[in-house]
Amino acid sequence: MHIEQFDHVGIRVRDRDRAINFYKLLGFHVGEVVTFDEVVIIRNSAGVEINLIINANNPEGDHNILMDIETKYPGHTHLALRVSSIIETIETLKAADIPITQGPVMFGQDGHVSLFIRDPDRNTLELRGRAEDTDKIENLVMYDPKG
C-alpha cells in the first residue's frame, strides 16, 4: 500500500449551524450535506476538507475529553492546518474574536510558528505557518528542545 496524501478529517460537533459559522471564519464553505448521515462536508479554497460529524453529546460539560481532563484517553488531540501567513492569521482571529488558547510558539528552530485555537465544541486546531518577521509577532514563545 502507498498512501499518497491526507484526504480529510472528521470532527465531531454538537450544533451544525454554530460549527459551520465558526469554520466559515477560517475560510471554509459548505461543499456537500450528506443525506443519509449527519455529516456536512466543508472545504476551503485550497481544497482542504473537513467532515463535520453532527452527533456529539457532551457529558464532560465544557471540556474536550482528549485535551482538558486529567485522565488521558487515546485519540486525535488536534488538527494542524498550514496557513500562508501567521501574522495575517493572528489578525484574522483577533478580528473574529477567536481567542488563541496557546501560542504563538516556535517549537525548536524548524522555521515555523504555531498557535492553537478551539472550535465551539472545544476541538483543538493548530494553525501553523512559516516564521515571518518574528519581532512583529506579539507574545511569541520560542522553545528550544535541546534545553
pLDDT digits (tens, 9 = 90+) for 14-50: 899 999 999 999 999 999 999 999 999 999 999 999 9
Q: Is residue 122 part of a domain?
A: yes
Instruction: Say if residues 9 and 51 touch (Cβ distance below 8 Å).
Output: yes
Place of cell 492546518: 81
Is 91 in a helix, a strand, or coil?
Answer: helix
For the chain, the domain total comes to 2
Is 97 in a helix, a strand, or coil?
Answer: coil
Query: What integer pLDDT is reported at residue 63 of this predicted model?
Result: 67
Q: End of a domain among 13, 29, 57?
A: 57
Cα separation, 34 vs 36, in Å, equals: 6
CATH number, domain of 137, equals: 3.10.180.10
Q: Give the residues across from 97 on adjacent strands.
A: none
What's the pLDDT tens digit per position in 109-119? Answer: 888 999 999 99
Query: What integer pLDDT is reported at residue 134 of this predicted model?
Result: 85
Instruction: Give the range of the structural domain holding residue 146, as residue numbers without chain letter.
Output: 77-147
- For 128-137, what is the mean pLDDT? 89
Do both 111 and 145 map to the same domain? Answer: yes
Which candidate, 136, 66, 126, places its Cα nearest to that of 100?
Answer: 126
Do both 85 and 138 map to the same domain? Answer: yes
What does the DSSP 8-state code read for residue 73?
Answer: P
Do both 83 and 140 map to the same domain? Answer: yes
Which candidate, 76, 86, 93, 85, places its Cα nearest to that of 114?
Answer: 86
